[in-house]
Structure 1
Amino acid sequence: MAKEKSKTEHAITIKEVARLAGVSSATISRYLNGKMNRMSKETADKIEKIIQDTGFVANATARQLSTHISQLVAVVAADIDDYFSTEFFKGASSVLEQNGLTAILFDSNSDKQRELTNLKIINHQVFDGLIIQPLINNYPELRGLIRKELRTIILDRDLHTNDWITVETNNKAVSQKTAAYFLRQRFIKCVVISEAVAGTSTREDRLAGIRSIYPESQLIEIDNSRPFMKENEKKVLDIVKADRVAKHKTLFFFLKERLLLAFFPTFLHHNLLSAPDVAITAFSDTTIVEGLLPASKMIKQNPFLMGATAAEILSNQLKNNATEFNTKKNIVISAKLR
């Protein structure tokens, strides 16, 4: 447990942390900036323990931390390659700016280790608040990685906790509604295409909504760490071929727009975009897909509003020095099938 400093005690410096750890100040600086590839795990763990025990805060601004006058808010996106992440950051930063706060963007790049590094950096810098779209889907684990006094809003995830306010989409309900629409159009087979589902609440909820209508739906999971492969294309084409033999109409349901765009050349090349026995839908937030598939029904979220809502709640928490602004713990910004 970190020691509490008295008001008269001086703020510990990087040099003092380095002396206690038996390393150079440059090593401490690298640690604080997440550059731990040039030090052993033992050294990193030792530095972490000393920082916790001494209550060290980078730049010797512990007093700022306790009085919440830095006016900086960390915004952690799961992957800024996704339009959703960039749009929610725009919404958050615009509202924070209106409230005299500055948003600092951190990108986890769909990598949990990078998310851990981001959180370490945030913990050791002076931030008044945090808006995070976490990759870690376990509340106790994430709670242990964020310093207790840091005002935190969870975005686009359901961690099943009342300790933090969450702003999310009606993932299960809108997926269920969309699947039901296509079943009424007599698409009796459904293929779901997604990144790994387990451990990400948004994907789990979307799949659950689909399977409430299509209990036998087939799931194709794409490995984001590997380039788009011919085997993915072959899976889709084999499904279409088999379903045509069985005279089944097939719905391809993409849980992310980026995956639909990755498969688009395959559908185009094999004349599946206008085939009467093939339908395509997706969670799609840009106008790109509207232009490519103007006749298709897509699920539209509002990431800008989600980010703005999270920022409004956090801003009010900071203004009122309160842990919560709204008695509702879960705020839903509904997506719609269009």
Structure 2
Amino acid sequence: MKKREHFLTLFIAVFALSIFGCVKPPKVEMIIEIDTNETAFLVPLEGKTKAGQAKFMSLEYLEEAKVATKRITLPQRGKRIGRFAHQIKWIPTVRIIKVDRTPITREWTKDSKTGTSKRDQAIWVESKDSIGFSVGVNITALISENNASNFLYYYAGKSLYSVIDENIRGFVTSILSREFGSRSLTNCKTDKKTISELALKETRDNFSDMGISITNLGLVGGLTYEDKEIQIAINEAYVAEMNIKKAGMDRDAQIAINEKTVSIAVAKREAAEEFEKAKEAMIAKVKLEIEQIRAEATRIAARKWNGSVPKNIVPQGTRFLFGLDSSEN
């Protein structure tokens, strides 16, 4: 009886093992989502490529492998991992490569409070007269949708962040070293704008074919000298120059005040002279008018006079005129 029970138990165990132990693992969908700032490429992992190995991962190939959908279900196949058919695992037959197109801004400065990193990331160069100094650089770059294939072709496996900090930084350093190294320290300070514009143009032209658009590149901050004594001397020279300029400005201001004072005095004198001339002219005019009135009165009196003495001047019959006014004479 016991043997039958053992046999039945063994039979059930073998049966259960044959039923449940030979089942393949479930095939779970592998779904990849593409964000709006990403461009995806669907690359086969097995079998022949679209035009053979010579074309694989070329620019043309990557452009054709670009996918527009934002949710992709990866095809899978079973891979044997044991002796039996059910001993498998599901693996994808294609790979999704994503390129993040988000704009990246980096600022390489010496001061930990101003740069993107707390480390000293300023770019060190030398002037023509072998004076070492560092400059800060600010740069912004992005990858456009149309250039995502170019970026993946040249920088597969690298992020834009890494490319800026490694490849582009090295290129910018070579330009700044060349331009500052061909100028005296004085010209290095005055030509910063020119050098910055040149660095932007050359960097933009160089990396555009590699799928990177440089939207901004410029120098930030002043020159930080390797020898601190140079900075002290420059500061002292600047202060002295400012004092000289201030003295000159004060002198020019005093000269202007003096000239204004003289001009006011001259104007007052000329006004007084003109007033005096006007006064004399007015007096002369009044005298002339009086003479004209007298002359006119004399002319009128002469025209009306009949040769006789006016009778109303001396009473008639007086002895004052010795009888000349009597009718008998």
Category of TM-score, reference length = shorter chain: under 0.3
Give the number of the structure whose alpha-carbon radius of gyration is greater: 2
Higher strand fraction (1 or 2): 2
Of the two structures, which has the highest relative contact order with CA contacts closer than 8 Å and spacing of 6 or more?
Answer: 1
